[in-house]
Amino acid sequence: MSAVHDLGARLLRTVDPERAHELSLAALAVGLGPHGATDPPILATRLAGLSLTNPVGLAAGFDKDARAPAALLAAGFGFVECGTVTPRPQPGNPRPRLFRLVEDAAVINRMGFNNGGLDAFAGRLAHGHRGGPVGANVGANKDTVDRAADYVAGLRRLWPLADYFTLNVSSPNTPGLRDLQQGGALTDLLGAVAEARKDLAAAPGGQKPVFLKIAPDLTEAQAGAIVEAALAFGLTGLIVSNTTTARPESLRSAARGEMGGLSGRPLLEPSTRLLGAVRAASGARLVLIGVGGIASGADAYAKIRAGASVVQLYTALALQGPGLVERIKSDLAARLRADGFASVEDAVGAA
């Protein structure tokens, strides 16, 4: 069945990329998605206390409105992150805003947090069957005055419904958002989140893991400062990384000059390098999720060896089709066995 779905993905690549994405999500929402194989025991692991059958997750951005998390878990992902969701619905940036760079195995997007808002998101999470951990990636509305309050609103509304949370402060497509990664803005945000978490820990669901998603364009010094802030305010960990505003000279596709965040193969090396730097700065004190450019078992394994407990992907899935998930898991399991590891956890940070 994976071959059939991969053929469908190739056909979808002949239409506008955002329309292809909408069609894919609609098919998943009505149960037309693939079904993954049973995961080998060597891939079973944990993410901040959450049990996973495998460490390969779906990154935020694909299912912004929590329309199909159960179908995506059934397709073979070990966990799924939905969002980014903002308190109020917003349309995002004008179209076209999503561009395939086929020659570079990459994508540029400037979506701008287009989503239906917290209430619709919460309604779907409340009534949907899962089958595995589902995270909520929360953000701020473009026109909001108090951005920290928007993140807190997301946590409060979704706390009983999601298994973990991600604070997205690193999208390049909302003006000024990345400023929240530094200085007083970061301190104010994490302070507000820490206060909210104190209250929410006593609410239904108890304590939940909370991650901060950072940009790949940070210097090691900036990343080190974020590590210290994350530790000071009790965050669970960091997701390394979001899309990049850099444009490597190696890019060949006609759309390489489009504004927005670049993802896919060109992001693999810089995001993995930053992941290693964050691991060196944090040791085992923070849980790290590795994302950026993963298109093979070798890529996933490199992230894990650099310090990621689990990984996430999105762009390669859009370019190669859903059969990619099973290929990555099979190759990753083989690499773990070949290097003598008994589990994913044994390989974390081995590099």
Could you give the CA distance from residue 133 to residue 152 in angstroms, rounded to a whole number?
21
Burial class (CB in 10 A: 0-12, 13-18, 19+), 249: exposed
Angle between helical axes of 147-158 and 118-127 (0-180°, round to 10): 20
| Helix (H) or strand (E) segment spanning residue 227 | helix 220-232
Active site residue 24: no
Considering the candidates 171, 241, 271, 309, report the single residue annotated as catalytic.
171
CA distance 171 to 141: 12
3-state secondary structure of 128: coil
Q: Are 279 and 306 in contact (CB under 8 A)?
A: yes
Q: 159 — phi, psi (to 5°)?
A: -55, -45
| Residue 257 token pair | 């000059």
Distances (CA, A) of 296 to 269, 293, 332: 14, 9, 8
Are 283 and 349 spatial neighbours (Cβ–Cβ below 8 Å)?
no
Provide the CB-side half-sphere exposure for 10 (13 A, CA). Answer: 8
* Angle 346-350-351 from CA coordinates, rounded to 5°: 160
CA 162/CA 138 separation, integer angstroms: 11
Rounded CA gap, 202 and 321, in Å?
A: 42
Q: What is the helix (H) or strand (E) element at residue 125, kind and residue range?
A: helix 118-127
Phi, psi of 12 (to 5 degrees): -65, -25
Closest by CA to 113, choosing from 147, 79, 80, is 147
Tell me, what amino acid is at 149?
A: A
Active site amino acids: 171
